[in-house]
Amino acid sequence: MDILAEQLRAFPIMALFLCLGLGYGIGKFRVGKFELGGIAGTLLVAVFVGQIGGITLSTDVQNVFFSLFIFMVGYNGGPQFFAALNRSALTKLLAAFMMTAWGLFFVIVVARMAGLDKGLAAGLAAGGLTQSAIIGTAGNAIDLLGLAADEAEKLKTNIAVGYSVTYIFGSIGPILAVSVIPIILRCDLRQEAIKLASKLSGGGRKLEEGEFLPMNRFEARAYQVTADAQLAGQSVKAIEERYGGDLIVEKLMQNGTPVEPEPETVVGAGDVIVVSGLVASLTSFEDTASGEIGEYPPELVVVEERRNVIITNRKLTGKTLAELRAALTADQRRGVHISKITRMGHDVPVLHNTELHAGDEISIVGHKDDLNRAAKLAGYVPPSASATNFIALGIGVAIGYLIGEISFVIAGTKVALGSGLGCLVTGLIIGYLRIRRPKIGGINHGAANFLQSFGLAVFVGVVGLNAGKPALEAIQQYGITLLLLGVVVTLMPMIVQFTINYFILGIKNPVEACAVVTGSRSGNPGFATLLEKTGNATPTPAFTMTYAVANIFLTLWGPLVVAFVP
């Protein structure tokens, strides 16, 4: 053990990565529905390893990775955050903001009543409200107070202490809410989710648990045209117009020879016709042709392409898929089908009444030329996995540091925005601008997610290692008190805001009520539990909208906690 300790002291970077590996390993263990998670696991392991003493990492490492993390929080959340600022989403936006405001209120009240210092109060906010970014923004605020170095370091150590003690129940709280709200409303969450899905799909059938459709939403099939078939003697253009862009003629064989189907080409008896489109349209088409055939030459094989597109066209955002279909002409829709919608990393159900938001990533299927046309109309194709615009990243973080120098006085205390909030602001702006002007941003989605996750993991790892023995001593001194205060901070905002949501804001649908509570608390474990209980993706739109708002405002509260707690 002495040899290991000496190695860790000599190579603190090795200690950091050891904490990352062990922390994420511990974070994967589950107790019931609760999973600690990699970030909290890393912090706890780092505090434990820090008991060796003498392991010190430069705060520059901490600041660099926190800057990357917080910039990417803004970059990834910017499109959805600004998309939420519209009239139709105003109620849920207000609910999310009010939840974060109640969180700030209860943190300040209980911290002042219990006599906590600024560090413990900020840690209580970070853990009780499960917003790890508060560790960084509050730490920035403490650095700008002009305190003696040892006093500032003690307060920042206490942030890690408060977070470590209160995070576990902070994560469990939204899980409890998802379990309790259906009991209060006297409803079956699974049945309510089925009803909501039926409503969103325009009355379409929603499959029960264990049921599935043994076919894709769209397919290509080949048919033999008989003499008495309804489509015999009709042109390709007339056949396609009958289905309003939901079905196209892909291939045609006449007299045993493949023929390129031009709009004016007439389909005759004995021809083999290959069509692609929505399964519902193909079922209807079969009645107008003849029996489906499975044997046809290689020349009639159809190759389709799948492409991801980011929605940026303001004429499309805010519209449901049904409204979008009505707004576009058959030529604009021809041969293009939406197979998947992803919003902030979560799949959104592809249903008639699903609303598109700026920044949504949709998967479309069709021919290359049709996809090019649709992509140009809808927005832009995201960069490849190897493409990252380092100009946007570098300049964005640099300007964030300049914005962080802006300061003002709150409750007699001078408070500067700090580099964390500055980088958050520039991330939001650049994330939003890349939706309006795609060439401005261009940071690959996977790379952005990695920088966000890895940046925070390294940051909390450094915080834990540098905290060392004082952190354990503080936990022993304040542990029970902090734990109880954390329960109050976790539960009270949800209780108060759920009541407001139901009786004043009119958010009465149980699925949406649970989604708004978990999203407004940035509660990913609670959301995972909600998805399991509903059995479908209907909570996702309300969750992602409120989650984006909560992430931004909870992060902003870090300096305010430091300012309002003595």
Number of Cα atoms under 13 Å in the Cβ half of residue 402: 7
Q: Is 337 helix (H, G, I), strand (E, B) or coil?
A: strand
CA dist., res. 183 & res. 346, Å (int): 27
Which one-letter amino acid corresponds to residue 502?
Y
93 forms beta bridges with none
What is the residue-level pLDDT of the chain in tens, covering all 566 positions?
A: 678 888 888 898 999 999 999 989 988 887 765 667 788 788 888 888 888 888 888 878 888 898 888 888 788 777 767 766 665 578 888 999 999 999 999 999 999 999 999 999 999 999 899 888 898 889 888 988 888 988 998 999 899 888 888 887 888 888 889 989 999 999 998 888 888 877 765 544 444 444 444 445 677 888 888 888 888 889 998 988 888 778 888 888 888 888 888 889 999 888 888 888 877 788 778 777 767 787 777 777 777 788 889 888 888 888 888 888 888 887 888 888 888 888 766 778 788 888 888 778 898 988 888 888 888 888 878 765 456 778 888 999 999 889 888 776 665 656 666 777 788 888 888 888 877 666 666 677 778 888 888 988 888 888 888 877 777 777 788 888 888 999 999 999 999 999 999 999 999 999 999 999 999 988 777 887 888 788 777 887 888 788 888 888 998 899 899 999 98
Cβ(355)–Cβ(319) below 8 Å: yes
Closest CA to 120 of 176, 162, 90, 65: 162
366 forms beta bridges with 305
All structural domains of the chain: 2-63+75-196+444-564 (no CATH), 226-289 (3.30.70.1450)
Closest CA to 92 of 542, 527, 551: 542
The reported pLDDT for the residue numbered 414 is: 60
- 102: which residues sit within 8 A by CB, 6+ positions away? 492, 493, 496, 497
Query: Quick one: tokens of 445?
Result: 């989605």
The pTM of this model reads 0.69
Residue 306 CA, chain-centre distance (Å), reads: 22
Cβ(53)–Cβ(468) below 8 Å: yes
The CA radius of gyration of the chain, in Å to the nearest whole number, is: 28
CA dist., res. 285 & res. 231, Å (int): 9
Q: Is 274 helix (H, G, I), strand (E, B) or coil?
A: strand
Query: Quick one: tokens of 299?
Result: 């020349």
CA dist., res. 237 & res. 256, Å (int): 22
- 141: which residues sit within 8 A by CB, 6+ positions away? 415, 416, 418, 558, 559, 562, 563
Closest CA to 511 of 187, 175, 174: 187
Cβ(344)–Cβ(541) below 8 Å: no
Only one residue has tokens 């049921």, namely: 211
**Complete DSSP assignment for 450-462:** HHHHHHHHHHHHH
Closest CA to 68 of 429, 396, 388: 396
Cβ(72)–Cβ(448) below 8 Å: yes
CA dist., res. 82 & res. 188, Å (int): 33
CA dist., res. 377 & res. 470, Å (int): 58
The reported pLDDT for the residue numbered 148 is: 92
Cβ(400)–Cβ(140) below 8 Å: no
Query: What is the dihedral angle through the alpha carbons of 67, 72, 73, 74, rounded to the nearest 10 degrees?
Result: 100
Cβ(289)–Cβ(225) below 8 Å: yes
- 64: which residues sit within 8 A by CB, 6+ positions away? none
Instruction: DSSP letter for 358, please.
Output: T
